Chains A and B, each alone.
Chain A
Amino acid sequence: MKQKIVYGIFIIAFVFTATQAMAKEWKLDANHSVVQFGITHIFSTVYGNFSDFNGDIRFDPANPGAGRFDFTVQVNSVNTGNAKRDNHLRSPDFFDAGKFPVMRFVSSGITHKGGKNYVVTGEMTLKNTTKVMEIPFVFHGTAPSPFDKRTQVAGFDTQFTLDRLAFGVGSGKFYDMGVVGKDVHVTISVEALGDK
């Protein structure tokens, strides 16, 4: 009997500490989130987006260290408003979407930098290259959904620059020609939904 009570206390303590350590889980609202990018073409900037992406978000501003971001973007969904260019971007000249259909970011740590500002550190994998990146982001806070009071909405925004050549997206031929830049300016805006 004593043994059972000890086991019971142990299990309750374990469950309690585990739920305390886990950050709140949010479901990415793809209809109100965007993954955009801009890259220079000689003088102008060509803007595009990826329409197919998903993410697991665990984030609690009170305990950012326990948070986790895991984003995947389907490379095939690239859209710059020009069908032929998009197919060229999918080709081995750039993303080689046939071989590497997704790009992924998995966080390893989140730190609070003051106010609404945070930095997420994690591994960015594009094609067959993985690099550790520090990405600053803004957490706008949470609010009850105006459409469903039982749902909470959280907002995240980030802007960062990525060197496409460091990830093997392009051989550098077009960069050397002065046609396509190497720095890709990425903007991600996310709305995520969670239970109240």
Chain B
Amino acid sequence: MKPKVFGKYMFRGAVLGMAVAALGAAAWAPVLYESQSLYYKFGLEKVMLQAGKSIGWVVLVLMVGQVLLVARSVFLERRIPLKLLMSLHRGCGTLIGILVLVHPLLILWADGFSLFPLERRYWPEFLGGFTAVFVAAIVAASKFRTRLHIGYKSWQRLHRICTPVAVILAFVHAWFVSETFHHMVPRTGLFIAAGAALALFAGIYIRRHAGRAKAGKHGEEK
């Protein structure tokens, strides 16, 4: 194996390792930093509530990962082919679409499916419900775009508007719904993840804007 190829695989291995570590940390955060709601659950109910919370955390990390995959980072694209990045983005998106629906199901199941009454104080839960449906709709529109007769350009425009909104809503929901963030470490983790997502979105927007401006300038020169 050539040293250059070996380095590429080493890099991919390191990226995979970091992703697994980030997802593992996210999954373990609600276990390590238990919120009081878990104190009152036992047996299968506790397992379901804990799993539901862990899945919620994992979804947040996956969302940040999704933005990273489409950030068109030169550094990343030199080491991982664009085709593979896009394929990962699609696979990750499908996984997110499934997990956002499993997350509330497990949490509601743990409480015997007792639904929240329409009171203002339950807004973080309702926001979470809306976000889950919103994310699932984004994933469904992407997955079944042709079957839904959505043109590529229209889908792309919608996708570029909806995904940052979905990520922001997911972070707002997580911050206000969970007591785990009363602890320093998970709170810091959430801020870093939210900051990274925002920075990546800003980077994508700036690059896209600069690209358009450049294309416009070339057009004028011609």
Contact = CB atoms under 8 A, between A and B. Distances in A.
A92 B121 contact: no
Interface residues of A, number: 16
A92 B112 contact: yes
B152 interface: no
Nearest to A96: B112
Contacts of A88: 37, 40, 111
Contacts, number: 36
B205 interface: no
B42 interface: yes
Which secondary structure characterizes the binding site on chain A?
helix
The residue in B42, B111, B112 that gathers the most chain A C-beta atoms within 10 A of its C-beta is B112
Nearest to B40: A88
Which secondary structure characterizes the binding site on chain B?
loop
Contacts of B111: 87-88, 91, 93
The residue in B40, B113, B115, B179 that gathers the most chain A C-beta atoms within 10 A of its C-beta is B40
A97 B114 contact: yes
Contact of A76 (B40, B117, B179): B117
B178 to A, nearest CB: 10
B24 to A, nearest CB: 26
A173 B121 CA distance: 28
A62 interface: no
A2 interface: no
A7 interface: no
B9 interface: no
Interface in A88-135: 88, 90-93, 96-98
A103 to B, nearest CB: 16
Contacts of A15: none
B40 A174 contact: yes
B113 A98 contact: yes
A98 B42 contact: no
A128 to B, nearest CB: 16
B11 interface: no
Contacts of A90: 114, 117
B142 to A, nearest CB: 33
Contact of B112 (A76, A77, A93): A93
B114 A87 contact: yes
Contacts of A4: none
A33 B18 CA distance: 59
A98 B116 contact: no
Interface in B99-134: 111-117, 119, 121-122, 125
A57 B119 CA distance: 29
A32 interface: no
Interface of B: 36-37, 40, 42, 111-117, 119, 121-122, 125, 179
18 contacts: A76-B117, A83-B119, A83-B122, A84-B37, A87-B111, A87-B114, A88-B40, A90-B117, A91-B112, A92-B114, A93-B111, A96-B114, A97-B114, A98-B112, A98-B113, A173-B42, A174-B40, A179-B40
The 5 closest A-B pairs by CB, nearest first: A92-B112, A91-B114, A91-B111, A91-B112, A90-B114
Given A84-B179, A88-B40, A92-B114, 8 more contacts: A83-B122, A84-B37, A87-B114, A90-B114, A91-B114, A92-B112, A93-B111, A98-B113
